[in-house]
Amino acid sequence: MIDAAFLADWLNLILRWAHLIVGIAWIGASFYFIWLDNHLQHPLDPADVAKGIGGEVWAVHGGGFYVARKFKLAPETLPPELHWFKFEAYSTLITGFLLLCLVYYHGAEVALIDPAVMRLGKGEAIALSLGFMVVGWLFYDWLCRSAFGRDDAMLGGLIALYCVIAAWALCHLFSGRGAYLHFGAMLGVIMVLNVYFVIIPGQRELVKAKQEGRVPDPVFGLRGRQRSVHNTYFTLPVLFTMVSNHYAGLYGHEWNWVLLLMISLAGALIRVWFVQRHKGQQNPLVLAAGLIMLALTAIVSLPRPTADIGPPAAFTEVQPVFKARCQPCHATRPTQEGFAAPPKGVILENEAELRARASMINQQVWVTRAMPPGNLTNITEEDRRLIARWVKGGAQ
């Protein structure tokens, strides 16, 4: 009989690996085509201009020379085979959703629900999760198709405002870790559905119009370009949320929703600079603004001074707390249901192991209160304070 926790660990590994692979393929292709589009030069051969080629890029890579050409509209005749870049995006959504189901739905009590934030049942939490992603797409798509969508500045401002509201709401419903992941998942769903409902249909219309010998409606191209630009600037914030579960100092902070927005803005600004750089129009102030925003995020996330926690505590005082609240998960053989191995390989079974990780324990338990996740082991405020007092005394 295969242990359920062991099976969950392997499913997690396989899905996470697959999600990473297809995500790299999608984002890599997206970044490459944006770079390609921004580096197009006037064709060297006048005959190419006569064929309708609007720009070309010459490159050398892997021991060979390449030339990529882009038509102003479409070639005279279509080739027998066209390569479409869509399945990378769809695969990213599918693997990401399966991983979401495994980690945040199946393990909702650990990763998604935090009773200190809001007491939710497992079904309620999952319904809210799905609702945020569905409503996020519907509202975003409505904005783009409405009159607001004709003004890129107005549209960008409204999307930013919605992101502020979503970040605040998520961080007041779910655990910090779950909120960060869902903010990225909401943006990721928007990115994929932009491909499925707008970008690819627009490309199909272009091909169909060419096959039927008519001029394609330019609205499809305009919509596709607008959504592609949005996808570009969503990318770095989404990538941050994918790794954010490693940084309890951010998602466990009392102002976690503000930090999420700040670091997302920093990522978007840095991406703007890279796009400008591709065009040879980079503005150093944009990059500086992104880096300054990162620095401000670090400053805001600094632990705030707390009131006196009391005199230093001895190890004999705190040892029962570690045994009851930490070791069920962080043991060679965890006794906490759902854990086949200690999280991140951290074992806290003896005094030497606890002393070696005292600073980390204080950060996770007292400063950010990210551990235990969902307070699975029912740690009390006095337990947390006692651990902080032990660390204050030098973890002796």
146 and 53 fall within a common domain = no
- What confidence tens digit (pLDDT) does each residue in 3-29 have? 777 888 899 999 999 999 999 999 999
For residue 190, is it within any domain?
Answer: yes
Mean pLDDT of 271-285: 91
Closest CA to 103 of 12, 188, 179: 12
234 and 331 fall within a common domain = no
Tokens matching residue 387: 């651990």
295 and 330 fall within a common domain = no
260 and 241 fall within a common domain = yes
Query: Residue 332: is its pLDDT beyond 70?
Result: yes
Q: Of 300, 326, 352, at which residue does a domain stop?
A: 300
334 and 265 fall within a common domain = no
For residue 305, is it within any domain?
Answer: no
Contact 178, 245 (CB under 8 A): no
Per-residue pLDDT band at 1 (split at 50, 70, 90)? low
For residue 383, is it within any domain?
Answer: yes
12 and 46 fall within a common domain = no
253 and 280 fall within a common domain = yes
327 and 226 fall within a common domain = no
Closest CA to 267 of 19, 87, 27: 27
The structural domain count of the chain equals 3
- What confidence tens digit (pLDDT) does each residue in 346-381 have? 999 998 999 999 999 999 998 888 899 888 899 999
122 and 209 fall within a common domain = yes
383 and 319 fall within a common domain = yes
What is the C-alpha to C-alpha distance for residues 233 and 334, in angstroms, rounded to an integer? 42
pLDDT score for 307: 67
Q: How long a stretch of residues is the chain?
A: 396
- What confidence tens digit (pLDDT) does each residue in 66-125 have? 999 999 888 888 888 999 999 999 999 999 999 999 999 999 998 999 998 999 999 999
- What confidence tens digit (pLDDT) does each residue in 195-237 have? 999 999 999 998 998 888 888 788 888 899 899 999 999 999 9
Range of the domain at 324: 315-392
50 and 28 fall within a common domain = no
Extract the runs of DSSP E, i.e. beta strands, from 34-182. 53-61, 64-71
For residue 213, is it within any domain?
Answer: yes
What's the half-sphere exposure (Cβ side, CA atoms, 13 Å) at 156? Answer: 11
For residue 307, is it within any domain?
Answer: no
45 and 19 fall within a common domain = no
